[in-house]
Amino acid sequence: MNKEQGFYHSLDIDGEKCIGCSHCMKICPTEAIRIRDGKAHLDAGRCIDCGVCFSECPMKAIYIMQDDFGEIHNYPHSVALIPAVFLGQFPDEIRVSRIYAALKDLGFRHVFEVESAALIYAEAKNRYAMENKDKEPLISSFCPAIVRLIQVKYPSLVDNIIPLKAPLDISATYALKKLTDQGVPRKEIGIFYVTPCAAKIAAVKSPVGEVKSIIDGVINMDSLYNIVFKKIKEQGKDYVFPPLQTPRLSSDAILSTLTNGERRICMAKRSYSIDGIHNVIDFLEKLENDEIDGVQFLELRACDQSCAGATLSCENRFLCSERMYGRARKAAERERNGEVPREREMDAQKEYLIECSGVEAVQPRSVMTLDPDISKALEKMEKIRKLKECLPQIDCGLCGSPTCDSLATDHVCGKGSIEDCVFYQRHLEKLGKMSPEECVEKMKNIWGDDRISGELN
């Protein structure tokens, strides 16, 4: 856990497993990783918990923290907030009612799907959009990795982010109100969110636009999937489980977490759905440079296939999406036959939930700002520009920074040295300003003693 720069980070690096291969450094979309002493190190201010490094690491040295599953037993009324993609992890032959029953057998008193709040979230967004056309294009706050990406890398766009809680927070608010209205004391209620990604853990632990989340704990989806699947296998095919006691979600709610899920139920005439962190970055670059206009709404997701492709997914993202679309088709058929979907039970509390869904305006956290003093920042920019001219611009990463530009910035900000560049070292050697022994020591500081071995000739 890291709370530097006001961020909570659910990602961390196991120094014992890390071999300093630099895969994570090269793939990180915000250049938040450096190699020092032969190990990867995380820059807490730049990290947005997107989890790309977690997926890329060949040594499994990067891990995602979670709360202890046993904590659910500390509450007489423990609530499992599960995303629709959790159900999409299971083979089609395992029915939703069977999964709900297994969760309750494991100790959850109540099970609630996050997407139950999807349509209320959509209405809150549409109302905000009607009153804030001057802030277009409005950017969905659904994906916390995207919110942090904009805070860190595109601070000029923070005012475009819709200041609303995500559906998981609205669902948590509803579940809490429902139980307290029944007379259950707050201290007996434990709300646990089953997360498909690292960013949502960070969003719960350090929410944007509010002081504290009402969610009491976060459980990694891959961990719970394995626990539930094992439980179902132990129970066997002949296990008698109770039927689902609650109505099922609508097709729109089920699909809301997939790519195009938000866009299909928004009122905007021109909108885009973009998934994959690097695709999002490419689009935001164009948006910030005023290369795109006339767009009213943006649904941006860090993961390919949105939450179906999240970092804590156990199943292939395309298979998960296929199952969710199949479930949505069945839901649509039930709706045509007159079934009232589950989210309609929230209608009585709709105005209350919409009122509670607002948060303070998102603030920039641009750690990439060189200096709060504009004159000093301009001086540093000029120093960086001159340093870039001394570097080869091939982005080899041997300096322990991801690119030549990032090394120049690190040097000016006191987080690295231009002398870490092997090409610049050769230049200094020619001038007699650096010895071969000094070059070796520089490399040892970056890559560790083990990789720099052998005697000098």
Residues 277 and 217 in one domain: yes
Fill in the amino acid letter for 181. D
Residues 113 and 36 in one domain: no
Are residues 158 and 182 in contact, defined by beta-carbon separation less than 8 angstroms? no
Q: What pTM does this model have?
A: 0.90
Residues 46 and 159 reside in one and the same domain: no
- What tens digit of pLDDT does each residue of 401-435 get? 999 999 999 999 888 899 999 999 999 999 999 99
Clarify whether residues 200 and 325 are in a common domain: yes
Q: Is 457 contained in some domain?
A: no
Q: Tell me the residue range of the domain where 199 lies.
A: 69-356
What is the rounded CA–CA span in Å between residue 255 and residue 231?
A: 27
**DSSP classification of residue 455:** -
Please, where are the H alpha helices in 1-131?
Answer: 23-27, 52-56, 84-87, 96-105, 118-131
Domain final residue, candidates 356, 384, 406: 356
Residues 46 and 124 in one domain: no
How sure is the predictor about 333, in pLDDT bands with cuts at 50, 70 and 90? very high
**pLDDT at position 4 over 50:** no
As for how many domains the chain has, the answer is 3
Residue 351 lies in a domain: yes
In a domain? residue 368? no
- Identify the residue whose tokens are 């301009």: 378
Q: Does position 7 have pLDDT exceeding 80, yes or no?
A: no
Rounded Cα distance between 176 and 356, Å, is 12
pLDDT band, residue 367 (cuts 50/70/90): low
Q: What share of the chain is helix, strand, coil (3-state, %, to 5)?
A: 50, 10, 40
Residue that finishes a domain, picked among 13, 44, 64: 64
Q: How far apart are CA 65 and CA 51, in angstroms?
A: 12
* Residue 160 and residue 13 in one domain: no
The DSSP string of 91-109 is -TTS-HHHHHHHHHHTT-S
Mean pLDDT over residues 13-30, rounded?
A: 94
Task: Evaluate whether residue 454 is within a structural domain.
Answer: no
Contact 262, 299 (CB under 8 A): yes
Distances (CA, A) of 49 to 42, 68, 135, 198, 391: 11, 20, 27, 6, 30
Instruction: For residue 77, report the phi and psi dihedrals to the nearest 5 degrees.
Output: -120, 80
CA triplet 304, 63, 144: central angle to 5 degrees? 45
Choosing from 47, 64, 81, the residue where a domain stops is 64
Q: What's the count of helices (H) and strands (E) in the chain, helices before strands?
A: 17, 11
Q: Is residue 418 part of a domain?
A: yes
Let me know if residue 38 belongs to a domain.
Answer: yes
Residue 186 lies in a domain: yes
In a domain, 105, yes or no: yes
Looking at the fold, whether 40 and 180 belong to one and the same domain comes out as no
Rounded-to-integer distance, Cα 142 and Cα 307, Å: 11
pLDDT digits (tens, 9 = 90+) for 255-272: 999 999 999 888 888 999
d(CA 390, CA 225): 52
Same domain? 40 vs 160: no
Whole-angstrom distance, CA of residue 345 vs CA of residue 340: 9
Q: Does one domain contain both 52 and 76?
A: no
Closest by Cα among 121, 125, 123 to 139: 125
Distance of CA 100 to the CA centre of its chain: 26
What is the pLDDT, as a whole number, of residue 452? 75
The closest of 18, 402, 357, 363 to 156, measured between CA atoms, is 363
Regarding whether 294 and 439 lie in a shared domain, the answer is: no
Between 119 and 267, residue with greater pLDDT? 119
Q: Which residues contact 262 (CB under 8 A, 6 or more apart)?
A: 122, 125, 140, 142, 256, 273, 299
d(CA 319, CA 310): 13
User: Is there a single domain that holds both residue 37 and residue 107?
Assistant: no
Give pLDDT, residue 451: 78
Same domain, 195 and 288: yes
